[in-house]
Chain A
Amino acid sequence: MSAQLPSGFEALEPFVATWALATTAERAAMRSASSPEQRAAFFAAAAPLLDSALAALDGRAMADLAPQERRLMDLMYSLAHVALAVEIQGPDEIKSAPLRDRLHITRSATDRRTAA
């Protein structure tokens, strides 16, 4: 299978199918729909790569990201959601999810406007 992410980020390949999502609302929904184990595994793999991923993507406009880079960016956005679940909410994540789902994200600055 060919690489879906820029080289150096092979460790995140198994998470692309679930977590490389185009809009904030989709990422929020996946945070709620995923299992604690899925979130923990993604956070453990992705959090240590935040600095290197953003460093690899910085320095040009978001619209100029290549498809592989865009996928990496989408993973970092999902990491923002999952980090709140794992690091901040912890054991409270399960009871807070249905409350959070009542706040409907209607638009977001980071929504992908064109298909990658």
Chain B
Amino acid sequence: MNVAAPAYRPIPADDVAWLGTDPVPAAPYYDPAWFELERKAVFLKSWIHVGHVCELPESGSFVRRELEFAKASLLIVRGRDGVIRAFHNVCTHRGTQLVAEAAGRQAKFSCPYHMWTFGTDGALLSAPDFEAFHLEKKDCALPQVSLAECGRMLFVNFDPQAQPLHEWLGDYAERLEAMPVARATTFSEYTYEIDANWKLTYDNFQENYHLRFIHPRSGGAAIGADNQFGYPASVGFCGPHRTQRIWSNPAPDLKPFQRQASMKGIPALMRRGLLDLPHGRDYLAFFPNIFIIGTPTQPFSHTVYPIAANRSRGVVRVYWSGEDADASESFAREYSLCQIRDIHAEDIDMIERGQRGLESGAISHIHFQHMEALCRHLFNSVNERVRDYARETGETI
């Protein structure tokens, strides 16, 4: 192709200088004491992604979600009234975990231990020999956790005083609602566990500096011409959240089959009106641990759940609107899922190497260049919350 390519316009360092330029302390990326503060100051006080509306299509549909940072098992249920709620998966009699299945559909939930039985709205419906307790049923409902939805994405918040989700998402709520995920009716998913801190893991996916070294084959289309690192076209910030616009390579280096495969899904996306959504090149990162990509051929979310200071779980979901319309669309969905999984696989090992290096304590600080601004912004947002929390509670850092 000999079309004159528009030049890549680098983002000036001055644009992100307000985030600071100092080295960043290394201990927050491995220290268990810091992690404990993060758990309380960040994860127990933020809206955390737990699922998608399409997982709960009917009354009684439920999913169970294990959130290690809260030591919680959550039961997320669509009630008979159509409302989706989150409860602790804990029987109010003597604490037994109620549901063992990962997902399903039930009209009520009976505890296997003594058969206390709860409705889809969490109310205690019946309990054998209940008269022998000095209790009223209305005081025995399942403990509820705040749940809210934006763009068909479900978030929970363990802080009873939390600001409403839409307020928390700020200006980015509207963007989320305009993304493919907000129209999705199904998704494909893969998950991984990694021996690395959640920030170190997440940071890998918010900088492009590594692309040409770690993804020379699989990520070839994202780099090239006058942007050999595949740096973003723009970045933006909104409170603790951030965004970047993925650079459009004017002449991506695609292999023949890859090019052929990528085209197979286009007609269906066009019919569905999904090709020209406003945020098709955008990456939206919601504090603390999820980002969402708007690319129509590969719209996905990636959430990194912390398990310990040096262990995390990643959940990647690729979202689709409508059942596979035909063989071509279905094939394109398979190729798209495999392609992104290949790329993510290449990152995992490198992130763990980073964790092992940091845990040696050999370096006191790490460094972010200005095109790693999103990583710095995450650190700043976490740091601010941890320090405020420590000041309020008198805990030492």
* Interface positions of A (Cβ within 8 A of B): 24, 27-28, 47, 50-51, 53-54, 57-62, 65, 73, 76-77, 80-81, 83-84, 87-90, 92, 96, 99-100, 102-110
Nearest CB of chain A from residue B187's CB, rounded to whole Å? 7
A83–B258 touching, CB < 8 Å: yes
A106–B335 touching, CB < 8 Å: no
In the complex, what distance in Å separates the CA atom of A47 from the CA atom of B330? Answer: 16
A110–B190 touching, CB < 8 Å: no
Does B349 sit at the interface, judged by CB under 8 A?
yes
B327–A105 touching, CB < 8 Å: no
Does B348 sit at the interface, judged by CB under 8 A?
yes
Nearest CB of chain B from residue A31's CB, rounded to whole Å? 8
> Provided the pairs A87-B255, A106-B191 are in contact, do residues A54 and B328 lie with their beta carbons within 8 angstroms?
yes
A-facing mask of B165-193, CB < 8 A → 1, else 0? 00000000000000000000011111111
Closest chain A residue to B102, Cβ basis? A106
A76–B345 touching, CB < 8 Å: no
B324–A62 touching, CB < 8 Å: yes
B326–A60 touching, CB < 8 Å: yes
> Provided the pairs A57-B326, A62-B330, A80-B335 are in contact, do residues A88 and B346 lie with their beta carbons within 8 angstroms?
no
Complex interface: chain A residues within 8 A of B188 (CB): 24, 105, 107-110
In the complex, what distance in Å separates the CA atom of A81 from the CA atom of B330? Answer: 13
Nearest CB of chain B from residue A37's CB, rounded to whole Å? 19
A47: contacting residue among B193, B257, B334, CB under 8 A = B257
Closest chain A residue to B315, Cβ basis? A106
A80: contacting residue among B320, B323, B331, B345, CB under 8 A = B331
Nearest CB of chain B from residue A40's CB, rounded to whole Å? 13
Complex interface: chain A residues within 8 A of B190 (CB): 103-106
Complex interface: chain A residues within 8 A of B338 (CB): 24, 28, 80-81, 84
B192: contacting residue among A83, A103, A107, CB under 8 A = A103
How many A-B contacts at CB < 8 Å in the complex?
Answer: 127
A–B Cβ pairs within 8 angstroms, 20 of them: A24-B334, A27-B334, A50-B260, A53-B327, A58-B327, A61-B325, A62-B324, A76-B327, A80-B335, A81-B338, A84-B218, A90-B217, A100-B341, A102-B193, A103-B192, A103-B344, A106-B191, A108-B189, A109-B324, A110-B330
Complex interface: chain B residues within 8 A of A62 (CB): 323-324, 326-327, 330
Question: A103-B345, A110-B188 given. 12 additional CB < 8 A pairs?
Answer: A27-B334, A54-B331, A58-B328, A61-B325, A83-B257, A83-B261, A92-B217, A96-B342, A103-B316, A103-B344, A104-B190, A108-B334
Complex interface: chain A residues within 8 A of B257 (CB): 47, 50, 83, 87
A76: contacting residue among B324, B325, B331, CB under 8 A = B331
In the complex, what distance in Å separates the CA atom of A48 from the CA atom of B316? Answer: 31
Complex interface: chain B residues within 8 A of A90 (CB): 217
* Interface positions of B (Cβ within 8 A of A): 186-193, 217-218, 255-258, 260-261, 264, 316, 320, 323-328, 330-331, 333-335, 337-339, 341-342, 344-346, 348-349
Nearest CB of chain B from residue A56's CB, rounded to whole Å? 8
B331–A109 touching, CB < 8 Å: no
Complex interface: chain B residues within 8 A of A57 (CB): 326-327
B335–A83 touching, CB < 8 Å: yes
Closest chain B residue to A72, Cβ basis? B327
Nearest CB of chain A from residue B279's CB, rounded to whole Å? 22
Complex interface: chain B residues within 8 A of A51 (CB): 260
Complex interface: chain A residues within 8 A of B218 (CB): 84, 88-89
> Provided the pairs A47-B257, A62-B330, A80-B334 are in contact, do residues A100 and B345 lie with their beta carbons within 8 angstroms?
yes
In the complex, what distance in Å separates the CA atom of A54 from the CA atom of B324? Answer: 13
Complex interface: chain B residues within 8 A of A50 (CB): 257, 260-261, 331
Nearest CB of chain A from residue B255's CB, rounded to whole Å? 5
In the complex, what distance in Å separates the CA atom of A100 from the CA atom of B192? Answer: 10
Q: Among the interface residues A73, A77, A104, A108, which one has the most CB atoms of the partner chain B within 10 A?
A: A108
Complex interface: chain B residues within 8 A of A96 (CB): 342, 345-346
B327–A88 touching, CB < 8 Å: no
In the complex, what distance in Å separates the CA atom of A59 from the CA atom of B187? Answer: 23
Complex interface: chain B residues within 8 A of A81 (CB): 334, 338
> Provided the pairs A28-B338, A108-B188, A109-B186 are in contact, do residues A58 and B326 lie with their beta carbons within 8 angstroms?
yes
In the complex, what distance in Å separates the CA atom of A62 from the CA atom of B331? Answer: 11
In the complex, what distance in Å separates the CA atom of A72 from the CA atom of B325? Answer: 17
Complex interface: chain A residues within 8 A of B330 (CB): 62, 73, 77, 109-110
A104: contacting residue among B192, B325, B328, B333, CB under 8 A = B192
